[in-house]
Amino acid sequence: MPNAFELLKNNIEENSKLREPQIEAYRALKEFYQGDFKTNHEREVGIVLPVGCGKSGCITITPFAFKSKRALVIAPGLSIAKQLLKDFNPSTSFYKKCSLLEGNEFPEPVEIRGKLTNRGDLDASDVVITNIQQLQGLDNRWMESLPIDFFDVIIFDEGHHSVAETWVTLKNKFPEAAIVNYSATPERADGQIMTGKVIYTFSVQSAIKKGYVKELTATRLNPTTLKYVRKKDGQEVEVLLDEVIKLGETDADFRRSIVTSKESLDIIVNASIHELEQLRETTSNKKLKIIASALNYDHCIQIVQAYRERDYSADYVHSKENSQKNDKVLQKLDNHELDVIVQVRKLIEGFDHPFLSVAAVFSVFSSLSPFVQFVGRIMRVIEQDSPRSKINQGIVVYHAGSNIAKRWDDFKDFSVADKEYFDQLLPENDFVLDNPTDMERLQPALKYDEKIDIGEQTKVLLDKSALLADDPTAIDALLYLHSAGITGNINDLLQQVEKIPVTKVNKRQAQRQALNDKVKNTAGQIIAKLKINPKVKGMDRSFRNNNFAYVISLINREINKTLNKSPGERHDLNASELDLIDSRFPHIIAKIEHELS
């Protein structure tokens, strides 16, 4: 109906089905519309809500605060746009779910998607939903044809993106429209801050107390002695903990090496599995899972292999993979066929799987925003509105040298509402790895000009710090410890984390599968270097295989030649043969690149 957001009678401010931040954000927007927007001609504001606090619901009620004639809702990607369309669609809408509107009339939603939508659809709409990619590019038909007053409100989901050039162009196209940015953090991955005054925030500690998000615990891996080698001069330098933390903050090569070294990777894997199994035992829920952040494609393969060696079902998603492969992995996750999902910023925004309970940080975050978004993946609750529930616990596992501590500091400095919460990193307990000095020293897979090999790590302590809510009394703290099942003398709570055993057969099978992934990934890199279309034929003189398949066959041929194996015998490779291929792999690739150059 025309002017639906002005004429339809709504039940928002006194609605018991809405969450506190949804009502308060609506009131803040309504006050802004009636005040600064009308009188001072200020047009852009921000709303900051933690993941899981009802941001999508806030977006659906925002046009009512402005009595909008026609609103535009912009998502950063396709998956979020699809979910927002469901929230506006009358049959599945947030309005219907929360009894926001009387009768059977709803605002008319339209999605911009390829050529399915025409101008007549938009003219008949009250709200238009799309992802930013649909409005990009020169001569974009919508940006060219729509009048400058077509929208009077533009709502950006994940509004920290709104400083990007494409988003700014969109704002300039509709100069009179109010702009509302929603985000869990107002900072982009490149450090830029979203524009507009933040008129409402809902703190993490408040969200935890209300039971909207999980209660967080940080487990920091602190090596008391770390030995590393700069291959540039071949000298070994032992580093104490304070120096490890300092290097982690200032030396990018060091940060990358420490999370890709075999020793450090094994420690994070073992610690994350330990935390997962404790949660599973405490809650009697085997569906709880680990999400791991990786640096790059090769790192994904390495991390997945490490978990598989320990008999944990693991897989990865990556933007380099086609959507069909990624969708298949995500379906396995939804079906609870995986224990671990590994990603490189692929599951950051809009991904919702509440059973992710342990965040294992193998990567390095250069700014606040992606780290907060990653941690947000484990913050969605399993039991709604159930604060202090044992199953609503999230654990972040990270290494002291990977610069994550500095990211927490960034969070405290930036978010005033959460400053006290993140200041309260209270020690809970320390426990040591079993026989840490007996850890096997392995060659790390580093690919930097000045490589740093992480050597033997001794006395690796797990410094487990609870991110406690803002409880003013010791009683609340004791209640928390009791609800978490922690009893007895604090000094007696020290415990050992066992190394996760790796059977020879699991290691071999994981290594063999990783080899297949490595071959495909390397073939893609070779094709990219040669600037050749991977899908066409031409490199193979027989014209049987496309270029990508042909390069894969060349790599496999050299692997078979190195091992004196016939095609089809990959499944018979033993551990020593797989180790040999790992050591010879760079030589094999160099030979093939020379042949093709």
* Same domain membership, residue 254 and residue 171: no
What are 351's two structure tokens? 């991904």
The pLDDT value recorded for residue 19 is: 94
The pLDDT value recorded for residue 449 is: 36
| Closest alpha carbon to 252 in 364, 177, 161 | 364
The pLDDT value recorded for residue 327 is: 85
* Same domain membership, residue 266 and residue 179: no
> Alpha-carbon distance 167 to 158, whole Å?
12
* Same domain membership, residue 279 and residue 198: no
The pLDDT value recorded for residue 208 is: 85
Hey, which residues does 110 pair with through a beta bridge?
A: 128
* Same domain membership, residue 535 and residue 393: no
The pLDDT value recorded for residue 335 is: 94
| Closest alpha carbon to 108 in 210, 2, 256 | 2
pTM flag (> 0.75): no
Cβ(340)–Cβ(290) under 8 Å?
Answer: yes
The pLDDT value recorded for residue 231 is: 38
Q: How far apart are the first and last CA of the chain?
A: 64
**The CATH number of the domain where 360 resides is what?**
3.40.50.300
End of a domain among 501, 518, 537?
A: 501
β-strand pairing of 314-317 with 340-343: parallel
CA distances from 172 to 150, 197, 284, 399 (A): 13, 18, 54, 44
Expressed as residue numbers, the domain containing 309 is 207-501
> Alpha-carbon distance 467 to 594, whole Å?
53
b (16+ CB within 10 A) / e for 303-330: bbbbbbbbbbbbbbbbebbeeeebeebb
* Same domain membership, residue 444 and residue 375: yes
Beta-sheet strands, E only, within 364-518: 393-399, 425-432, 452-467
- Counting the structural domains of the chain, the total is 3
Torsion of CA 304, 308, 313, 314, to 10 degrees: 0
* Same domain membership, residue 223 and residue 178: no
The 3-state secondary structure of 480-495 reads HHHHCCCCCCHHHHCC
Sole residue written with tokens 């897989």 = 315
| Closest alpha carbon to 109 in 91, 134, 132, 135 | 91
Cβ(92)–Cβ(149) under 8 Å?
Answer: no
Exposed/middle/buried for 22, CB within 10 Å: 0-12, 13-18, 19+? buried
> Alpha-carbon distance 320 to 125, whole Å?
36
* Same domain membership, residue 520 and residue 496: no
* Same domain membership, residue 444 and residue 374: yes
State the CB neighbour count (10 A cutoff) for residue 35.
Answer: 11
R_g of the chain computed on alpha carbons:
26
Cβ(493)–Cβ(429) under 8 Å?
Answer: yes
b (16+ CB within 10 A) / e for 425-437: beebbebebeebe
State the CB neighbour count (10 A cutoff) for residue 122.
Answer: 18
The pLDDT value recorded for residue 490 is: 42
End of a domain among 152, 180, 202?
A: 202
End of a domain among 170, 202, 234?
A: 202
* Same domain membership, residue 216 and residue 249: yes
The pLDDT value recorded for residue 235 is: 45
The residues of the chain scoring below 70 in pLDDT are 1, 138, 159-164, 186-194, 222-261, 320-322, 345-351, 364-369, 400-499, 501
> Alpha-carbon distance 190 to 365, whole Å?
10
* Same domain membership, residue 109 and residue 97: yes
* Same domain membership, residue 395 and residue 294: yes
* Same domain membership, residue 259 and residue 152: no
